[in-house]
Chain A
Amino acid sequence: MDELELLKKDWQKQEAALPRLSFEEIYQMILKKSSSIVKWIFVISVLEFLLWASIDIAVRLSGKYDGLEVAGLEGFSIVSTVLSYSILIYFIIRFYLNYKRIKTTDSAKILMQNILKTRKTVRHYIWVNISFLVITTMSIVGYLTFFTDTYSQQSADEDIPVFLVIAITIFVMAVTIAFIALFYRLIYGILTRRLKNNYNELEKLEL
């Protein structure tokens, strides 16, 4: 294409029209803080870890788990505590390792892959947490409903049928999950849309 050749020639001539910064101006720039997408992803991810960890701690401190012990679920409570902290530690380590791998000196494709990977780790963490929440809630409600007298008696007293308790639990959980999912779509949609588009564009090249 001769037009592009023409452009190439002109492009090289245009060097003289480029701005020129002084040593001092450039020096001032290296003292400033970055506002790159990686930094934002890092900050938001750390906030997510903190948020979920603090929800867990808040629930424990509020004494919600004491009820379990009364109901004979101490073992379950211990297992769930150990499990949830192991999950947290595992994901923090993975996130840190992924984050360390992000290097601007890699090729564009590798760089994008590594950034998307750190995102994915945090997303997995969120989904593991949600599943964890669903499974524990369901098993506790199930256990209390079918294997102890607490709920069946309560239900009889207050005229709430068992299926209604379960239905409400499922409904509340579904709404919560839908809300969280929407929230994430919005935040990361905005943050990584361009990155994903560019990555897909690059992938498209692979025949």
Chain B
Amino acid sequence: MNKELEHSFVTNLEQNQNIVHKVCRIYTSDQDSHNDLFQEITIQLWKAYPKFRGDAKFSTWMYRVALNTAITLYRRSKRSLKTTDIDTMNFRIKAEEYDDEVEQQLKLMYAAVKQLNDIEKALVFLYLEDKSYKEIADTMGISEVNARVKMNRVKTKLKKILNP
């Protein structure tokens, strides 16, 4: 039984691992921290898995646990304080259709997102993942109106970071 559960969990996670990698990408700045956070999210997902009933999509269920781990449960290791960090956000695929100006703008945008606080990052992440305000509100535990208000504030903040 346990083996079966393990197998179905790992298979599910392997198929949907992008979600976890993306959370790690928003919240960490170097490869070691990325792996560390990925590890912790995996453990938390596994711990919660026996209660996963399948009434929601596995991927939808993952967003919550992954974000909760990143915002609340994860203890940043000292590594992430090192100044020699390579920003994983910079490992990007350069899209063909973008000109240099757009490419530059995108780089600045990613750097700006990194400067946001944990909660703001979560909102931006869910927004980038094309989640509705209702889903964002549910995940964060706030009202839909507040999710909208906060998202607007984050947009303003990003603008300020980009155009000081």
A interface residue numbers (CB < 8 A to B): 1, 3-4, 6-8, 10-23, 26-27, 29-30, 32-38, 40, 103-112, 115, 194-195, 197-198, 201-202, 205-207
Contacts and interface: CB of A to CB of B under 8 A. Distances in A.
12 contacts: A8-B128, A15-B18, A15-B22, A30-B42, A36-B75, A105-B64, A107-B64, A107-B140, A108-B72, A108-B140, A111-B72, A198-B72
A105 B48 contact: yes
Contacts, number: 165
Interface of B: 6, 9-11, 13-14, 17-18, 21-22, 25, 34, 38-40, 42-44, 46-48, 51, 61, 64-65, 67-69, 71-76, 91-93, 95, 102, 105-106, 109-110, 113, 117-120, 122, 124, 127-130, 138-143, 145-147, 149-150, 155, 158-159, 162
Contacts of A8: 127-128, 130
Please report whether the interface of chain A is mostly helix, strand, loop or mixed according to DSSP. helix
A12 B129 CA distance: 8
B143 to A, nearest CB: 8
Contact of B141 (A20, A37, A202): A202
A27 to B, nearest CB: 5
Nearest to B51: A105
Given A34-B40, A36-B40, A104-B69, A19 B146 contact: no
Contact of B119 (A6, A19, A202, A207): A202
Given A35-B40, A107-B141, A18 B18 contact: yes
A201 B11 CA distance: 36
Contacts of B65: 104-105
Nearest to B147: A205
Given A8-B130, A33-B43, A106-B68, 20 more contacts: A1-B159, A4-B155, A7-B109, A8-B127, A11-B128, A16-B93, A26-B10, A29-B42, A30-B46, A36-B73, A104-B44, A104-B64, A105-B65, A107-B64, A108-B71, A110-B141, A194-B118, A205-B149, A205-B150, A207-B145
